[in-house]
Amino acid sequence: MLPEEKIARRFSEKRGLTPPVNVEALVQEFATLEEDFLPADYDAVFLDKSANHPRPRVIITVGQPATRRVFTLAHELGHIVIPWHNGTHFCRVGAEARLVDRLVKEVESQANRFAAELLMPSAWVTELIGKTGGLKNQIDAVRQANVSYHAASIRLIQLLPPGFAFIEVDSSDHIIRTASSPGTFVRIPDEGAKLNQHDLDSIAADSVTFKSGSSKIHWWHFLAKIKPPLAASSGETSNEMIKRIANEVFQDETAARKAVMSVNGVIGAANGTNLRQAHGDLFTILKQRFLGRHEIAPLVGHSQFDEFLYKRVKDIEARQ
């Protein structure tokens, strides 16, 4: 747990706080709270106390959605409570990833982590995960803290076991944000790419989609084990098979050779990770790692690629 999260935990424990937290009352305990129209899409401004203002001031922009307002206030409370957050802070809550100045980015990230621990304590979320089944139910349970789907998703993904991911997309299905739970092997598409939801649905045990403002958040709980294909009787080795498939897909010999090298590289890296962590079914991990690789997508889409993959897994297991 990071220092700012420990501060949030101690702050909550001292006051006996439990979700949902009345964060507006807490801000007003320490600062003068104002609302105004702020420029440049700022959510809030924190002004430290001065000669003319003996109390700190928090100015939040007018008209924020209720759940966003809650998180913004918790973020500003972080600036008040975290001892090294002195001075003036212009805040776009949730936009810290796009900040250029490293110091400002870190300070804003700290305030966000403080807010997340204050509103959605890790112990509380972990307890909810343990007693709540199904993605939709888990996310709705976290939202009892009066937070948005966006904030609930970011908090939940940090505390879930391996095998979970979410992707946030804009109105044209281009990816804005991605996140996976710790230890998840699934290769998630890059930000800016267009989401191919079918690929991820095909390896998921559960999925759900939520509307969050102008964007959508897609969640998946991935299968712990993907059923391998029935192997056809063939005298080919896995090396011979992938070369044949590549030559069928790519007319250019150089392109086919590069594709085979890429496949072998992905398998080698995934197998090494699997062996080091002693976690998971290798065929399942390989299926997950080949998702969204546009440069070899025609090869991965070949009708016999999964058969090759399973054959390669058997080769690896035979050598261990």
Q: In this structure, what token pair is assigned to residue 235?
A: 């005298």
Residue 10 belongs to some domain of the structure = yes
212 forms beta bridges with 215
pLDDT at 46: 94
- By CB neighbour count within 10 A (0-12 exposed, 13-18 middle, 19+ buried), where does 123 fall? exposed
Work out the number of other CB atoms within 10 angstroms of the CB of residue 203. Answer: 15
Please tell me the total count of domains within the chain: 3
pLDDT at 277: 60
Residue where one domain finishes, among candidates 119, 147, 166: 119
pLDDT at 9: 98
pLDDT at 52: 83
Residue where one domain finishes, among candidates 64, 85, 119: 119
Residue 138 belongs to some domain of the structure = yes
pLDDT along the chain (320 residues), means of 10: 97 97 97 92 90 90 94 97 92 65 87 97 97 94 96 96 95 94 88 90 94 93 89 80 94 92 91 63 89 87 92 86
For position 79, which CATH number holds? Answer: 1.10.10.2910
Pairing type for strands 204-212 and 32-36 reads: unpaired
Please report the sign of the dihedral spanned by the C-alpha atoms of residue 36, residue 41, residue 46, residue 51. negative
Helices (H), the chain: 3-15, 23-30, 66-81, 102-119, 122-131, 135-142, 149-159, 197-201, 238-249, 253-277, 282-289, 297-300, 305-319
Residue 24 belongs to some domain of the structure = yes
Whole-angstrom distance, CA of residue 106 vs CA of residue 101: 9
Question: What pTM does this model have?
Answer: 0.85
Please list, in sequence order, all residues whose beta carbon lies within 8 angstroms of the beta carbon of residue 16, skipping any fewer than 6 positions away. none
Question: Are 112 and 128 contained in the same domain?
Answer: no
pLDDT at 262: 94
pLDDT at 100: 53
Q: Are 195 and 174 in contact (CB under 8 A)?
A: yes
Question: Are 102 and 207 contained in the same domain?
Answer: no
Whole-angstrom distance, CA of residue 273 vs CA of residue 171: 36
Question: Are 132 and 79 contained in the same domain?
Answer: no
Residue 231 belongs to some domain of the structure = no
Whole-angstrom distance, CA of residue 203 vs CA of residue 291: 10
